[in-house]
Chains A and B, each alone.
Chain A
């Protein structure tokens, strides 16, 4: 297994400038991609859009671009939550069950009492999601259960609860007030609300991860748990918080899921966890923690959504869709590993020359 190298020290390339311009130019792009992981994904995304747009101009019409963003908004929200957890060298496999459970409970509540205000429903969904996150967080931090095992367990338990509550029922669009549906289908200033929700989550999370002390500490925990503990980072509390926040974002995603798809049963969002982890990984978040960004995870989600959209617009055989998505995941991590390896080698060379 390969761990990503620790942060590239910013001071070193200065020496390289003096050593030779050629090397610098060749290394510049690599360096950019290395330091700004998102650049690589954005590049891949741009290439994809370009290639498809040449074949089928309809692809880049505003309507279709909006459709792509709509289709990945919920995925992006959960991917940001997952990023918080993955940064700490943990993982949350229960996100799909969390989203499904919240989606059903919210839609079902509105079916029972259509008068409930939408704001209250959003609050309820987020709180339920956060509550499920509390369970995961406690199991991992207090119970010392490895995250992958704990959340695999709660994946089953939350889904089972969903089925117990649903009792085979289904909530349809006609059962819920329009105000709820417009959470996902409405527009503010001409922009679909669903996209605004996702954008808000991404912006806030990016800011917190970059600027807040606890945000930086999440990276510290992930890149070296032992060292983080030694310098006094409250690891347990932060890992717990990451799970709770991830749960809360799943809750928000659940509320929106119900509003977007309108028809909800206990099976909603089954298997969603795989798409979420895929988006996070394609977005350059290291599965072993310590590096990655919310923007990256979002770009990962957008890339996967764009591929899906491109395949349908190019009228390619839909049977190929899943195979291609799988291939993209593998290509993304392979490229990432190769770049990392070259960077490491370049760094080592630079260091050796200096001494």
Chain B
């Protein structure tokens, strides 16, 4: 049975508190912060990274990492640009881009699961490879002629509201990821693999297949992010999203997902995404340059880990005290 205060000590609760604090402080220092227009624009700006974070969360929970997501975004954007430029209908162009993302993820997954290579190294290689392919596909051109409906999706809000269309797409994808991760057997297998791969294998989980699946999901979601990015900026360039991978990883880790896998929730990651977005937005309204905002993000990332370490210490001590008579009841 859980005690009330231990719920309050959960990382997600702290993230909510930090988010509220950012909103309170933000609205008092920057007048423009708490306006519908600003929040709408700021959240639209988050969407590519948010969509990539969904897939990366799954991968990191399973104890692996995918550094190639931003390059897949660039490749997907380049493919959409090149195919539309060549006269391919938009829906087919998007389909090709998503397929390329899935294949990119499949390649990562096969190298990691079938050859047993470390994912950090594999996806560092494919980070360069996929970005390189983006340049091969599009050269140094930029394509900015797209059908009206496509750019409307990127620029406009849902009629009558301030909700950007990409946010709706993100909500659907996030809900689907949530259901898979927290309400299905696949999610339980992901956590099992992340906690102890060996044990997961012995308990009959097809670890290799799950891992390949996760990388395919990560690649596909990154490709979706590439399509959204292209629509929002009405621009397909091979260097789109350059360097985004570190931002996305930061968000996932800040969300309380352990870099060693097996621990963390999607809710935490989504909260962390909004926290980073709100923080950056407030700082930007105060004329702090993006690179200097990064000091805050970096500090938050490090402090979050030290804080969770400390929290876990407190929780474990409390748990030990509570269940001292019957050690078998200890939460794991």
Contact = CB atoms under 8 A, between A and B. Distances in A.
Interface of A: 1-2, 91, 139, 143-146, 148-150, 152-157, 159-164, 266, 270-271, 274, 277-278, 281, 287-288, 317, 319-327, 329-330, 333-334, 337-338
Contacts, number: 148
Closest 5 CB pairs of A and B: A323-B132, A326-B129, A156-B298, A326-B128, A322-B132
Contact of B305 (A2, A146, A164): A146
Interface string B114-138: 0111111110111111111101100
Interface string B234-245: 000000000100
Interface residues of B, number: 46
22 contacts: A143-B306, A149-B301, A152-B253, A152-B298, A154-B302, A155-B246, A156-B301, A160-B291, A163-B289, A277-B124, A278-B125, A287-B121, A320-B135, A322-B132, A323-B129, A324-B132, A326-B128, A326-B132, A329-B121, A329-B125, A329-B129, A333-B122
A278 B123 CA distance: 11
Contact of A145 (B133, B135, B250, B306): B306
A317 B122 CA distance: 24
Contacts of B260: 146
B295 interface: yes
A149 B262 CA distance: 16
B297 interface: yes
Given A162-B291, A319-B140, A333-B117, 16 more contacts: A2-B116, A144-B309, A152-B246, A152-B249, A155-B246, A156-B250, A159-B294, A163-B291, A164-B295, A274-B124, A278-B125, A319-B135, A320-B136, A326-B129, A337-B115, A337-B117
Contacts of A156: 246, 250, 294-295, 297-298, 301
B292 interface: yes
B139 A319 contact: yes
Nearest to B137: A319
B259 interface: yes
Interface of B: 111-112, 115-122, 124-133, 135-136, 139-140, 197, 243, 246, 249-250, 253, 259-260, 289, 291-295, 297-299, 301-302, 305-306, 309
Contacts of B243: 270-271
A164 B117 contact: no
A329 B124 contact: yes
Nearest to A341: B116
A149 B259 contact: yes
A51 B85 CA distance: 38
B249 A323 contact: no
Nearest to B302: A153
Contacts of A270: 243
